[in-house]
Structure 1
Amino acid sequence: MPDQEHTIPIFDTSRIPLIVPRPDHQVSRANISENALKVLYRLRKAGFQAHLVGGGVRDLLLGHEPKDFDVATDARPEQVREVFRNCRLIGRRFRLAHVHFGSDIVEVATFRGGAADEDAEGERCLENGRIVRDNAYGTIEEDALRRDFTINSLYYNIADFSLIDYAGGLADLQAGTLRLIGDDPERRYREDPVRMLRAVRFACKLGFSIDPACERPLFELAQLLRDIPAARLFDELLKLFLSGTGLMAFEKLRHYGLFAYLFPATETALAHEEQAFPLTFVARGLENTDRRLQEGKPVTPAFLFAILLWEPVRQRVQALQEEGMSDTEAMYLAAGEVSAAQQPFVAIPKRFGLPMREIWGLQPRLELCQGKRPYRLVTHPRFRAAYDFLLLRAEAGEADPELAAWWTRFQQADGQERAQMTDGGAKRRRPRRRRGKRPAASAPSGEEG
């Protein structure tokens, strides 16, 4: 396919699109979900334009299986609702239509268009360069050039099964380049700072290189993340870290200085070496998470955030212990302090925050291997996650590998062997920093019990 110029003024709708007819591209209706096709066909039958757009088109062109399919149309949200009885309108900042098919949802967005005005109170306005409302509707040309990255601005037209490319996305897709639409990357990041996180996510997920002009501002604009609602950042980080490339995303976030604005306490903790060794727990934990996801196994957000926030918790526990506080009390207090301090940056919902703190809170109890305590502990609903967490700590050299191996044996043992293991001969074990050894135990699952 022909190469295209890449310096694209955002609202230059005079640009002639590249249209690729069906025989010349690989997007097939056979690979599009049945429900997405229903939405596309019904919108067209109702007299509206209907296009598959964004990540679904991108992934199909790359030979990947799309996670979901989004639809773009000239129908207004209220008109979409009139076409589909199973439709629900959501959002204020971006008004969208969700068409429900059981548990499957097809998202339908109306073509966006029109220039922004910082003093406007209409349907699209900016505050300090950031888009705070965007419900000004327009044409497909305007919509295409208002999207973030060129590779996400490709349309599949259900009317004739052609591809439409206004932004040079096909050329960038072939070159493996991630590029913002427009000639001012800093402006695009300021419009929506989450685009910086999306740049990292797509670069990791697709193995693409970030265009140098789009990469430079990443080192300078991290502070803009402070203006993003903490709940929205939680959702974005789940996409970042639960896509099978979490370790790479973690490294890139730190490289660009973005991680410090998302997890400031963790970044501070990681800045210090202990006993001349860099701290490796977070990296090992994310590597394990990636491995599980690539094997099709589950990882809960509670376990993920327990990994990401563990270093400040652990260091605070040590400080409180040095002040004379008991292990359990220190863990309880440290977990509460770190969790509360994190909320203004990335808001962790209670349904994940509570089990996250339970995973931490069970760590001191796992050191108690006598009497009836182990029997009670293995019945705890969070035991498996806490045990997996202990394995990661041992692998990183900050918990005793023998303790992790003991718990592995205990779970596999029969009644008589368990009785021998807990019959007073076992000494209470305290974690000590040991590096370079792995526990003689199964690999941690990362699955919340």
Structure 2
Amino acid sequence: MLKRFISLFTGDSTSSGKVVIPHSKHSIANNDVSRNAIKVIERLQQADFEAYLVGGGVRDLLLDGHPKDFDVATNATPEQVRKLFRNSRIIGRRFRIVHVRYGREVIEVTTFRSHHQEGSGKSQESHQSDEGMLLRDNVYGDLQSDAERRDFTINALYYDPVSRDILDYTRGVNDIDARMLRIIGDPATRFKEDPVRMLRAVRFAAKLGFEIEPKTAAPIADLASMLQNIPAARLWDESMKLFMSGYSTAIFHQMVERDLFKYLFPGSASHIANPQTMAFFENAMLNTDKRIRADKRVTPAFIFAVLLWPAVVTRQDELMAEGSSTALQAAHQAQQQVLQAQLNVISIPKRFTSVMREIWDLQAALPRRNGRRAYRTLEQQRFRAAYDFLLLREQSGEDHQGLGAWWTEFQFADEEKREQLIAALPRSGNNSNRRRRKPRRSPGQQNPGQQEG
């Protein structure tokens, strides 16, 4: 589909570097574009502003994909956009944008940006840290500077649904055709400006099946530690895109290969050298990807419970070795300590950490099946997640002596069969952690060793 673009780059470039690709030379149809995004662009253009569909939406349309989000770029300032659309609001501080809402759909409108050392205007501001990271980026510019300020060439394409032309300043269409992910500008400088771009690089490469251009890839491992400077709340948002996109398996391998994983999960990174742990992570992500692609329900709590589990087990064993805790106390202390360390890096919401704890706690309950324990465990709200977690552990090489198969049979059996399964259990081992109760005394009986006064 994209091969026919190549001829355009040999003679149709303007002196500014812009390539105009007319509708007759590309496959994007307005029927594939959000009607609300087109309405936003049309209204901005009617008000004498420039406005285009931009970024991943254009990229995915050229790849015959079906974008979920449609973003708009314009030379109107956020305040000017806000005046045109009553159904909008300005958000952000580091990077101010406008959200125009149509029911449940939100069209994100950004003002053309410029290089941070350029631009003018009283309200414009750009600040960098000593490491080169942009702390605020509200320097406005024109269309060409906006293209040059975007992260990757494939994301710097502009589509005008009115003229139906595509504008390309960075040869992004060439890179789509070559299935190549290339950063715009000097890679080290651009990654220092925003280290999250390194995560975006591996995510796009994995999702699209693209190669990361060698010069783009070269500085990633050396600069990966700069992710430690990113706020934990922002890394939560990015981690959702990494693990809940349906491509987490490929993304995970890219993160490990390029030394990014250890800065997102420092407590888990040392465990991936263990083949069994690596298989555990991979199997969990394969399962999550399959469920997402089948439109089945998934929760981030499960994948985060998997990624932190080896660290929890290791810490629990250390606490037990110190001899200062019971197994239950050690488990809870280990969970708290591992979670707290991880929350300093990625701000996992409490509604998910509570589910993670329940999944972990049920790993200790699942082997205890005598009496009514199996029924009580089966009634737990997180039983199914905990059961899936156990199956992943077994699939990855842990030997639980058929525990997963037992629970598979028990949960789908009738009452008679369930009683038979429980009766067939060995009594030793299942009750080994039960505390013995002291004999109950009669009201007048003295405590052992107690003397009458």
Aligned-pair identity (%): 48
Structure 1 residue runs of 5 or longer lacking an equivalent are 6-12, 431-449
Structure 1 CA distance for aligned equivalents of residues 406 and 321 of structure 2: 27
Q: Matches of 1:251 and 1:83 in 2, distance apart?
A: 45
Q: 1:304 to 1:428 in 2, by over 3 A?
A: farther
* Whole-Å separation in 1 of the counterparts to 2:317 and 2:418: 31
User: Per-residue displacement from partner, 1:156-212 (whole Å, max 9, x unpaired)?
Assistant: 013311000001100001001100111x11000000000000000011000100111
Change (3 A) 1:392 1:416: same
Higher RCO, Cα 8 Å, sep 6+: 1
Counterpart for residue 442 of structure 1? none
Cα 1:179/1:31, change in 2 over 3 Å: same
Distance 2:404 2:287 in 1: 16
Q: Is 1:374 aligned to 2:374, yes or no? A: yes
Q: Are 2:100 and 2:109, in contact at CA under 8 Å, matched by a contact in 1?
A: yes
Partner amino acid, structure 1, of 2:158:
Y
Question: How far does residue 386 in structure 1 lie from its aligned partner after superposition?
Answer: 0.9
Question: Is contact 2:30-2:161 (8 Å) kept?
Answer: no
- Are the equivalent residues in 2 in contact too, given 1:395–1:401 (CA < 8 A)? no
1:41 is matched with 42
The answer to whether structure 1 residue 90 and structure 2 residue 91 are counterparts is yes
1:441 maps to which residue?
Answer: none
- Written as runs of structure 1 = structure 2, the 5 A alignment for 1:151-170 is 151-170=154-173
Residues of 2 paired with 1:388 and 1:257: CA distance?
A: 29
Query: Which of 6, 12, 15 matches 1:2?
Result: 6
TM-score by length of 2: 0.87
Q: Aligned with 1:361: secondary structure?
A: helix
State whether structure 2 residue 36 is matched by structure 1 residue 32: no
Indicate the residue corresponding to 1:146 in structure 2. Answer: 149
Q: Who is 1:125 aligned against?
A: 127
* Cα gap change, 1:401 to 1:205, in 2 (>3 Å): farther
Deviates more, 1:262-271 or 1:58-67: 262-271
Aligned equivalents of 1:214, 1:316: Cα separation in 2: 38
Higher mean alpha-carbon deviation, 37-46 vs 314-323, is at 314-323
- Residue 421 of structure 2 corresponds to 421
1:204 aligns with 2:203: no
Structure 1 counterpart of 2:251, from 236, 249, 252: 249
**In the alignment, does 2:267 pair up with 1:265?**
yes
1:263-299 Cα deviation digits (max 9, x unpaired): 11101222356xxx66421122112112222222222
Q: Which amino acid is 2:148 matched to?
A: L
Task: State the match for 1:113 in structure 2.
Answer: 114
Q: In the TM superposition, what whole-angstrom CA distance separates every residue of 1:204-263 from its partner, at most 9, and x where no partner exists?
A: 000100111111101211111111111111111111122222112111111111111111
Aligned to 1:21: 22
Confirm or deny: 8 A CA contact 1:369 1:428 kept in the other structure.
no
| Change in 2 beyond 3 A, CA 1:16/1:272 | closer
> Is the 1:394–1:401 Cα contact (8 Å) retained in structure 2?
no
Provide the aligned C-alpha RMSD in A: 2.1
CA shift at 1:360, angstroms? 0.8
Q: How many residues align?
A: 417
Change (3 A) 1:45 1:427: farther
Equivalent residue, structure 2, for 1:283: 282
CA contact (8 A) 2:368 2:374 kept: yes
- Superposition TM-score, scaled by structure 1 size: 0.88
